[in-house]
Amino acid sequence: MFDSLSERLGTTLDGLRGKGRLTEDDINAAMREIRLALLEADVNFAVVRQFVAAVKERAMGAEVLESLTPGQQVVKIVHEELTELMGSAGSGLSFSNRPPTVILMAGLQGSGKTTACGKLARVLAKQKRTPAMVACDVYRPAAIQQLQTLGKSLQVPVFERGTDADPVETAAWGIEQARAQGRDVVIIDTAGRLHIDEQLMDELVRIKQRTKPHDVLLVLDSMTGQDAVNVAERFAEAVDYDGVILTKLDGDARGGAALAVRAVTGKPIKYVSVGEKLDQLEPFHPDRMASRILGMGDVMGLIERAQEQFDEKQTEEMEARMRKGAFTLEDHLDLLQKTKNMGSLRGMLGMVPGLGRQLRNMQFDENQAARGISQMEAIILSMTPDERRNPRSINGSRRRRIAAGSGTTVQHVNQVLGQHKQMEKMMKQMKAGKMPNLGALMGR
């Protein structure tokens, strides 16, 4: 995701990083490239204009022009403004103190709304909640059956009354069924609709009035770009929804919807779907997404996905080491090995600091990524247990031995040690309760 935008922004910002001094002409040229990159990503023109103006105003300040590392300061500013553009902080769901919490799902036909219901149910089940789903899409052929299939695979009950039932009454009845079974969250799947279909929009309004949901989530297809933002505006006029789920983000090389939807509508993105599988729905974190767009990685996201591959004991052990600020090469090796089971290898490697920009400049395929992971594994496995626990002991002769033992070069060994050092720094910052340091992410 964001490949085109990441490549364009990365090339522009890489050109600034190496300069010891920036002039006004340098900044103006960079702003032109950033503006074009965002427009090509199908970001709303007004949003682009406002974003570029904010970056330029800060970049022209004394903090940048008089800095010893002006290029890196500009990168920091772009990261902060991207984060602000997408929402500053993540936004979760609103849970009721008196269950069940009701979540109403809305969206256009073909946006992936029914599948998003199943993915959200899985997320909630992982959080030790007991979700149920209600099938209120009585218009699309096989919509009820699709939701039932999802529910069966997740072991989540699906309440339905057939295609002849009234969707408003079905929604209210489904909530009562969930309450009777002691379910603490109810996800209502409504019919996909065209935004110009007044009858279906009115039905959605009536379902909302009848069920009084705690969260109304609009499901948007990110691949429709600026059209998705237009849809979000029209839905906001009819139904005051609380947040957005962006689907198909893994297939969106541009990213216009993710960048602009909050700026235009004021509604936060709550979740993003990054694949077709049921386990590929992620909470949306604007700061992490900004880091990924700029090729800085997403260590926290990587760890969270990896933890799903650990058993409870392994998770507790890793958390204990992290609290002590310890992150050894053995931990690093565990993360690499678990990466193989966490979806797209390109996506996972893009979360590793320092690899994002490298991935932009290579013809990537999954086999190549698998070989890269295997190479890093071989390097770490060629170290002694003491070296893995204490990488600072690895001097020049040991690096040559490790390279020979893993069938790689000293340069490859140095790259692995450098990546580990960056991750170790971030673990120490997490111990101190600080946000990830941008300098560490950029290898400063």
Q: For residue 138, give the nearest of 146, 129, 127 by alpha carbon.
A: 146
Domain that residue 154 falls in: 101-286
The answer on 18 and 37 residing in a single domain is yes
The answer on 256 and 120 residing in a single domain is yes
Total domains, the chain? 3
The answer on 437 and 320 residing in a single domain is yes
The answer on 143 and 206 residing in a single domain is yes
Q: Which stretches of 89-149 are assigned E, i.e. beta strand?
A: 101-107, 131-135
Q: How far are the Cα atoms of 302, 336, 340, 375, 376 from residue 370, in angstroms, in the given order?
A: 16, 10, 8, 9, 10
Last residue of a domain, one of 261, 286, 311: 286
Share of the chain above pLDDT 90, in %: 37
Domain-embedded: residue 96? no
pTM for this one?
0.70
Return the SS3 of 272: strand
Q: In what order do the strands lie in the sheet with 101-107?
A: 158-159, 131-135, 185-189, 101-107, 215-221, 243-247, 269-273, 281-283
- The confidence score (pLDDT) of residue 387 equals 93
The answer on 378 and 261 residing in a single domain is no
Mean of the pLDDT values across residues 419-438? 64
**Residue 241 tokens, joined:** 């929804």
The answer on 125 and 203 residing in a single domain is yes
- Cα 16 versus chain centre, distance: 27
The answer on 67 and 163 residing in a single domain is no
The answer on 139 and 252 residing in a single domain is yes
pLDDT digits (tens, 9 = 90+) for 324-353: 667 788 888 877 777 666 666 666 666 666
- The confidence score (pLDDT) of residue 264 equals 85
The answer on 299 and 260 residing in a single domain is no
Domain-embedded: residue 93? no
The answer on 82 and 107 residing in a single domain is no
pLDDT digits (tens, 9 = 90+) for 173-189: 999 999 999 999 999 99
Domain-embedded: residue 94? no
- The confidence score (pLDDT) of residue 152 equals 96
Last residue of a domain, one of 61, 86, 111: 86
Q: For residue 85, give the nearest of 290, 377, 295, 329 by alpha carbon.
A: 290
Domain-embedded: residue 234? yes
Cβ count near 84 (within 10 Å): 16
Last residue of a domain, one of 286, 312, 327: 286
Q: Over 70: is that where the pLDDT of 315 sits?
A: no
The answer on 338 and 218 residing in a single domain is no
Domain of 69, CATH number, reads 1.20.120.140
For the chain, give the mean pLDDT. 82
Domain-embedded: residue 400? yes
The answer on 218 and 142 residing in a single domain is yes
Classify strands 281-283 and 269-273 as parallel, antiparallel or unpaired: antiparallel
